[in-house]
Structure 1
Amino acid sequence: MVRNSLAALAAAAVIAAFPFAKDASAETRVTFKSAKSGTSYYQMAVQIAEAMKAGTDGAVIVTVEESQGSVQNVKEAANRSGNYVFTTPPALAQAAIAGKGQFEPKDPAFDKLRSLFPIPFLTMHYVVRADSGVTDFAGLAGKSFIIGKGSFGASEAEKNFETFGVAGKVNLVDVELGSAVPALKNGQVDGFATAGSYPAPNVIEAAAGTGVRLLSMTDEQVAATGRTRLVIPAGTYPGIDEDTVTTSLPVGAYTTSDMDEETAYQLTKTFWERKAAMAQDNPWWGGVAPAMLETLGATLHPGALKYYKEAGFDIPGGLM
Structure 2
Amino acid sequence: MSNNLLKLGFTLALAFGVTQAQAETRITYKSAKSASSYYQMGVQIAEAIKAGSDGEMIVTVEESQGSVQNVMEAKARGGDYVFTTPPVLVSLAQGGKAMFEGKGDPKFDEIRALFPIPSLTMHFVMSKKSGVTDFAGMEGKTILLGKGSFGATEGEKYLKQFGLEGKIDLAEVELSNAVAALKNGQIDGFVTAGSWPAPNVIEAAASSDVHVLSLNDDQIAQTKRAKLVIPAGTYAGQEEDIATTSLPVAAFTTTAMDDDTAYTLTKTFWEQKAGMGEDAPWWNGVDQALMANITGKLHPGAVRYYKEAGIELTDAQQ
Shift of 1:129: 2.1
- Corresponding residue of 2:47: 50
Secondary structure of the structure 2 residue equivalent to 1:304: helix
* One-letter amino acid of the counterpart of residue 263, structure 1: T
Shift of 1:184: 3.0
Distance in 1, Cα, partners of 2:141 & 2:34: 25
Confirm or deny that 1:105 pairs with 2:102.
yes
- Corresponding residue of 2:4: none
Task: Please tell me whether the aligned partners of residues 34 and 40 of structure 2 are also in contact (alpha carbons under 8 angstroms).
Answer: no
CA 1:171–1:260 in 2, change beyond 3 Å: closer, same or farther?
Answer: farther
Distance in 1, Cα, partners of 2:66 & 2:182: 22
Confirm or deny that 1:63 pairs with 2:60.
yes
Confirm or deny that 1:21 pairs with 2:18.
no
**Mean Cα deviation higher: 157-166 or 281-290:** 281-290
Confirm or deny that 1:84 pairs with 2:81.
yes
Secondary structure of the structure 2 residue equivalent to 1:199: coil
What are the within-5 Å matches in structure 2 for residues 118-129 of structure 1?
Answer: 118-129=116-127
Shift of 1:36: 6.3
Task: Please tell me whether the aligned partners of residues 27 and 82 of structure 2 are also in contact (alpha carbons under 8 angstroms).
Answer: no
Distance in 1, Cα, partners of 2:265 & 2:100: 28
- Corresponding residue of 1:259: 257
- Corresponding residue of 1:221: 219
* One-letter amino acid of the counterpart of residue 254, structure 2: T
Task: Please tell me whether the aligned partners of residues 30 and 64 of structure 2 are also in contact (alpha carbons under 8 angstroms).
Answer: no
Q: CA RMSD in A?
A: 3.1
Distance in 2, Cα, partners of 1:316 & 1:30: 28
Distance in 2, Cα, partners of 1:177 & 1:84: 31
Secondary structure of the structure 2 residue equivalent to 1:259: coil
Distance in 2, Cα, partners of 1:144 & 1:58: 51
CA distances 1:74-123 after superposition (whole Å, capped 9, x unpaired)? 34434544533222221122111111222213511422321111123332
Secondary structure of the structure 2 residue equivalent to 1:251: strand
Confirm or deny that 1:235 pairs with 2:233.
yes
Distance in 2, Cα, partners of 1:234 & 1:33: 29
CA distances 1:252-306 after superposition (whole Å, capped 9, x unpaired)? 1112334344432321121012122223334443443345333212222233234
CA distances 1:223-242 after superposition (whole Å, capped 9, x unpaired)? 32223333323221112223
Distance in 2, Cα, partners of 1:183 & 1:252: 33
CA 1:113–1:154 in 2, change beyond 3 Å: closer, same or farther?
Answer: farther
Distance in 2, Cα, partners of 1:274 & 1:195: 25
- Corresponding residue of 1:74: 71
Task: Please tell me whether the aligned partners of residues 126 and 215 of structure 1 are also in contact (alpha carbons under 8 angstroms).
Answer: yes
Distance in 2, Cα, partners of 1:155 & 1:79: 29
* One-letter amino acid of the counterpart of residue 130, structure 1: K
Q: Point out where structure 2 has 5 or more consecutive residues left out of the alignment.
A: 1-7
Count residues with an aligned counterpart: 304
Distance in 2, Cα, partners of 1:74 & 1:84: 11
What are the within-5 Å matches in structure 2 for residues 1-320 of structure 1?
Answer: 21-22=23-24, 28-34=26-32, 37-39=35-37, 41-108=38-105, 109-173=107-171, 177-320=175-318
CA distances 1:46-99 after superposition (whole Å, capped 9, x unpaired)? 321221111122232323345454334334434544533222221122111111
CA distances 1:122-150 after superposition (whole Å, capped 9, x unpaired)? 32111122223333223333433333344
Report the identity percentage: 58
Distance in 1, Cα, partners of 2:303 & 2:217: 38
